[in-house]
């Protein structure tokens, strides 16, 4: 696992997880939400047993690399297997990355990333809103459902109240109930 250090202060200590599930830089106090962890598509974040934040290669990427190395080896005619060492090296590197990820607790290949799901839910809502002649109440309700879906992804079983508090700048959830006479 490669530790992730704070970009705010360029500190030398990696972020550490807190009980509220935010990551904290203990040099400048900067807090990081996991959805703001910026990685390229072939990496996934992980937290080790000490609570340190880091990243590892996505196991799906390692497995694909290993399969590719084996495939290339098998396709190489028997007489000219000079590239064997290179292919074994490629396989070995991918295997080490896979084991590193397992050690950090990342076992199953990641299916969809958070940002892919976020984009899909919002695009789905926009597709419906843009394609139909909806009034403001319907549009608001569809956006509420999209925000609630993302909130459930983060915290399954989240209440309406908590979802509203996290996503809307209203004083109380009842403010939303007062929209369009929706209260119940």
Going across the sheet that includes 2-3, the strands are 2-3, 53-57, 43-47
Determine which residue in the list 2, 8, 89, 172 makes contact with Zn ion, applying CB under 5 A.
8
- The residue from 1, 4, 25, 146 that contacts Zn ion (CB under 5 A) is 25
Question: Closer to Zn ion at the Cβ: 38 or 175?
Answer: 38
Give yes or no for residue 94 binding Zn ion (CB under 5 A).
no
Task: With beta carbons less than 8 A apart as the criterion, state whether 24 and 15 touch.
Answer: yes
Decide: is 13 part of the binding site for Zn ion (CB under 5 A): no
Give Cα 121 to chain centroid, integer Å. Answer: 15
Q: Select from 2, 9, 35, 89 the one that contacts Zn ion (CB under 5 A).
A: 9
| H-run or E-run covering 17 | strand 16-17
Q: With residue 10 as reference, give the H or E element that holds it.
A: none
| In the complex, least distance from residue 16 CB atom to Zn ion, rounded to whole angstroms | 11
Size of the site for Zn ion (CB under 5 A): 8
For residue 47, report the phi and psi dihedrals to the nearest 5 degrees. Answer: -125, 130
39 binds Zn ion (CB under 5 A): no
Instruction: Tell which one of 28, 39, 88, 119 touches Zn ion (CB under 5 A).
Output: 28
Is 30 one of the binding residues for Zn ion (CB under 5 A)? yes
Chain positions contacting Zn ion, by CB under 5 A: 6, 8-9, 11, 25, 27-28, 30
């Amino acid at each position: 696992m490669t530790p992730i250090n704070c970009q705010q202060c360029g500190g030398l200590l990696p972020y550490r997880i807190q009980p509220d599930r935010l990551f904290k830089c203990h040099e400048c106090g900067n807090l990081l939400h996991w959805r703001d962890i910026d990685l390229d598509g072939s990496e996934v974040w992980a937290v080790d047993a000490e609570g340190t934040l880091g990243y590892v290669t996505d196991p799906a990427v390692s497995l694909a690399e290993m399969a590719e190395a084996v495939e290339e080896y098998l396709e190489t005619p028997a007489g000219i297997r000079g590239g064997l060492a290179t292919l074994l090296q490629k396989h070995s590197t991918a295997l080490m990355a896979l084991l590193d990820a397992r050690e950090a607790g990342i076992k199953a290949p990641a299916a969809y990333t958070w940002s892919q799901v976020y984009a899909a839910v919002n695009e789905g809502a926009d597709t419906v809103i843009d394609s139909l002649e909806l009034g403001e109440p319907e549009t608001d309700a569809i956006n509420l459902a999209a925000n609630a879906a993302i909130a459930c992804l983060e915290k399954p079983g989240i209440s309406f109240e908590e979802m509203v508090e996290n996503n809307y700048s209203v004083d109380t959830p009842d403010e939303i109930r007062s929209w369009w006479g929706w209260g119940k």
